């Protein structure tokens, strides 16, 4: 994502054309911007992530991880 920009060129698509099928992108984004609306699909990150189960090879870390102390 790059703000609300939708960009389609021969070599670049923003947002990605198939982001709604990418659990490794959607599930981490739930922590950052769950209510952000994808400009292509007109669906929120929360809605798209709920429709795509987490990949069995993806490790979700608990929210107890502290980056800043």
Tens-place pLDDT, residues 6-39: 999 999 999 999 999 998 899 889 989 999 999 9
Q: Model's pTM, two decimal places?
A: 0.73
Q: What is the DSSP string of 7-47?
A: EE-SS-EES-TTGGG-HHHHHHHHHH-TTPBPTTT--BHHH
Residue 63 CB neighbour total at 10 angstroms: 7
| pLDDT confidence of residue 55 | 72
Angstrom distance (rounded) from CA 66 to CA 64: 6
Q: What is the pLDDT of residue 9?
A: 95
Residue 43, pLDDT score: 95
Cα–Cα distance between 43 and 62 in angstroms, integer? 26
Q: Rounded to an integer, what distance in angstroms lies between the CA atom of residue 58 and that of residue 69?
A: 26
pLDDT attached to residue 36? 95
Model pLDDT, residue 18: 92
The model's confidence at residue 66, banded by pLDDT at 50, 70 and 90, is low
């Amino acid at each position: 994502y790059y703000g609300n920009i939708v960009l389609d060129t021969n070599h670049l698509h923003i947002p990605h054309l198939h982001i709604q099928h990418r659990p490794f992108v959607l599930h981490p984004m739930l922590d950052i911007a769950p209510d952000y609306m994808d400009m292509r699909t007109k669906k929120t990150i929360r809605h798209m992530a709920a429709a795509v189960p987490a990949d069995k090879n993806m490790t979700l870390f608990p929210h107890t991880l502290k980056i800043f102390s």
